[in-house]
Amino acid sequence: PLYHNLVMKHLPGADPELVLLGHRFEELERIPLSDMTREEINALVQELGFYRKASPDEPVPPEYLRAPARPAGDAPDHADL
């Protein structure tokens, strides 16, 4: 609840993955999370540019309202994960 524009959905039986969507909700990238710790996932989310609020009701600065949405084809390379 503290990361802006991050929605978590539990899908029974599915391997956990982070699905990055563009500003028009097109799928940009899927990052598997099965082998990552909670700390590694938090670091990844921050590296990707998600804004973390100090409290759930904190307003989001205007420059982060659409973050971390990127145009299609501009997704970072995570081959090392």
Note the pLDDT tens digit of each residue in 38-75: 999 999 999 998 999 999 999 999 988 888 865 555 55
Domain of 27, CATH number, reads 3.40.30.50
pLDDT at 60: 93
**Looking at the domain assignment, is residue 16 inside a domain?**
yes
**Looking at the domain assignment, is residue 77 inside a domain?**
no
Residue reference for tokens 């307003």: 59
Mean pLDDT of all residues belonging to the chain: 85
**Looking at the domain assignment, is residue 45 inside a domain?**
yes
Cis peptide before 62 (omega within 30 of 0): no
CB 23 within 8 A of CB 69: yes
Comparing 31 with 21, the larger pLDDT belongs to: 31
| Domains: count for the chain | 1
**Looking at the domain assignment, is residue 76 inside a domain?**
no
- pTM more than 0.85: no
**Looking at the domain assignment, is residue 63 inside a domain?**
yes
**Looking at the domain assignment, is residue 33 inside a domain?**
yes
Range of the domain at 9: 1-71
